Chain A
Amino acid sequence: MTQTTETIFSLAMPYRETLDIRRTVYTGGNGPRVAVTAGIHGDELEGLYVCHRLAAWLDELQHSNPQHLLGQVELYPALNPLGLDTLTRSVPVFDSDLNRSFPGSQQGDLPKRLAAAVMTALDGASLVVDIHASNIYLREIPQVRINSEFSDLLVPLAEQANLDLIWIHGAATVLEATIAHSLNSRNVPCLVVEMGVGMRLTPDYCEQLTVGLLHLWQELGVLAPEVVLPPLTHHPLVADDSNVHYLNAQTSGLFVPATAHWTDLRRGELLGTIVSPFHGAVLSEVRSPVDGILFTLREYPLVYEGSLMARVMARKGGAR
């Protein structure tokens, strides 16, 4: 078992410096290759910490039982290093969302070339997990988002990832220029994980996903069957476009939540209020439209009319 950190893409910047995309590779036997990508949005840090936790686990394995890595693990914690290093969601200067630049091209500007290099590097992998951390506005329960076009293949994988929710999106709402869609279209299975909130770390969620990824890798034959892993502690509920309800602000102001994230709600139950710093009265009461579970909750208090404050998933029969 070996561990190396290498540069997969390098591009010159206007004044002396270069942009480098680096990955860490743990190589064991000739078993399947798996990869974790993170930091495609410069304000999302949860995935960087998951990469660290996986690296720490693999370091320990290398020390104790190196023969148990049967395949290869690649960690790409920072696909948008300029954004991450400068607190910018998009690619600085280009002001473009890197996750709308895939599959990219060899010719063209930085985001296109970077995307193409990442596609080349990930080609042939048995599973890629792309970790996102929502944005600075919304907090998300650990979940996998799957395009219905690929659900037959991906849902069984996602069920073992120790997450709380699988959200299956209709093909019409799919963003084709994402890394996940581009990989899945080229027969490289890719799961998109959304969890936590932008610009923060949620260590419990990161541990939860780390355990899930190790189980997935064992299932795929990357880790030997005799490796003893911490038990799976979460089994996902399934959401789709029919049972997810969006709560958008009816007016502008400060959103103050009245309930905790990931709690059960009754229809009509108060979820939060919108208030104004100028007046004492409540401008708007935010109530759950259904019996369900609160899986997205606004973290950034200021809202404009229309801002998303919460998503509630109606239960499709059965208890959690």
Chain B
Amino acid sequence: MKRDLLLMTAPVRDSFDIPCHEIGPKAAHPAAAFVAGLHGDELNGTFILSRLADFLNGVEAGKHPGLKLLKKVLIIPAVNVLGINLRSRTWPFDKSDMNRMFPGNVSGETTQRIALAVLEATKKAEYRVDLHTSGVDFEELPQVRLYSPSDAQRATARHFGLPAIMERSISPVFTTTLMHAWQVWPGQSFLLRVGQGGTVQLGHCQQVFRGLVAFLGQTGILAGVSLAEGDEEISHFRQGSSKRLYAGKAGTFVSDCQVGRWVRTGQELGYIYDSFSGNVIEKVEAPANGLLTGIRRHPLLFEGDLLLRINPKS
């Protein structure tokens, strides 16, 4: 069922809403809440969640015999609705980052009011998942991000079946994020990072869609899910284990490497060309043995830009 999280006026356009799906048995609070599109350019998450809503609505309609939704699920495919429509990462009117507006404020800025509505709808869920991509410049291997997690959270993170689980500490910049606002509530919170902004990457989306269904199965929210055939390898990386390579030179970066590959120290991963003369000015090599968990996709490099991230086997 579609519900409006809140309805707001606009200066000259018609009023607009931030809609969500509520699917499954009636309950005061959802058992699981999924949020995407706080940033309007992060299309993988919005696509995945809209497809998940379609799938779960199908389960409710009896289209998938053997599957049964036992608890309520809440899905917000996009918070920054206007941003999606206008291809803007930020809230288009005042260019504010909607994931810096939490916990929100009922009488504050437009984006703080929206933030509050999102937090109110999701904070009492047992499991909360916020989907992001990297920016349009960088591609992330589909991964679960944990922020100073408990052991229980580490265990639950495996239910997504994604290739990497990465731990991070909370930086002071992130105290106004949805993830941070969730942390004070009982229950478990997860941030998924999936691919690159500005595009829908079908392979990544399918992998994460299957991951979310598996997660709902493992947590007892969706009954009848058959567990994955070949269990995929899941690597768990503790905080500080990432090896990052920054561009020593500016120029044009070209690479045909795919995220999710294991690479060896010194392996050639791409080239930096002088954008004017066309000379190769740097051969980019893997700085360590490990899993390629992220790589630069925009070819134009400023000196110092992040080229890639490798996580050694722990």
Contact = CB atoms under 8 A, between A and B. Distances in A.
A89 B110 CA distance: 20
Contact of A306 (B108, B172, B173, B246): B108
Nearest to A304: B110
Interface residues of A, number: 37
A107 B303 CA distance: 10
Interface string A243-260: 000101001111000000
A308 interface: yes
Contact of A176 (B108, B172, B252, B276): B172
B48 interface: no
A112 B304 CA distance: 9
Contacts of B65: none
Interface stretch (B88-96, B124-132, B177-185, B230-238): B88-96
Contacts of B304: 11, 107-110, 112-113
Given A109-B304, A306-B108, A100 B173 contact: yes
B256 to A, nearest CB: 20
Contacts of B8: 252, 304-306
Interface string A1-32: 00000000001111110010000000000000
A100 B174 CA distance: 11
Nearest to A16: B276
Looking at chain B's contact residues, the main secondary structure is loop
Nearest to A172: B175
A254 B11 contact: yes
A253 B11 contact: yes
Interface in B213-267: 244, 246, 249-252
B9 A252 contact: yes
B302 A307 contact: no
Contacts of B251: 14
B16 to A, nearest CB: 10
Interface string A138-180: 0000000000000000000000000000000000000011000
Contact of A12 (B10, B135, B250): B250
A109 B305 contact: yes
Contact of B10 (A15, A107, A177, A304): A304
Interface in A285-320: 302-308
Interface string B75-118: 00000000000000100011100000000000111111100000
Contacts of A11: 250, 302-304
A110 B302 CA distance: 7
Interface residues of A, dominant DSSP:
loop
Interface in A110-125: 110, 112-113
Given A251-B9, A254-B11, A304-B10, A93 B302 contact: yes
B69 interface: no
B67 interface: no
B300 interface: yes
Nearest to B9: A252
Contacts of B110: 304-307
Given A16-B276, A109-B304, 19 more contacts: A12-B249, A12-B250, A12-B303, A93-B302, A108-B306, A109-B302, A176-B172, A176-B173, A246-B107, A248-B107, A251-B9, A252-B8, A252-B11, A253-B11, A305-B9, A306-B109, A306-B111, A306-B113, A307-B110
21 contacts: A11-B303, A12-B302, A13-B302, A16-B276, A100-B173, A107-B246, A107-B304, A109-B246, A109-B304, A109-B306, A110-B303, A177-B172, A251-B9, A252-B8, A252-B9, A254-B11, A304-B94, A306-B107, A306-B110, A306-B112, A307-B109
Interface of B: 8-12, 89, 93-95, 107-113, 135, 172-173, 244, 246, 249-252, 275-276, 300-306
Interface of A: 11-16, 19, 89-90, 93, 95, 100, 107-110, 112-113, 137, 176-177, 246, 248, 251-254, 276-278, 302-308
CB-based closest 5 A-B pairs: A12-B250, A306-B110, A176-B172, A14-B300, A252-B9
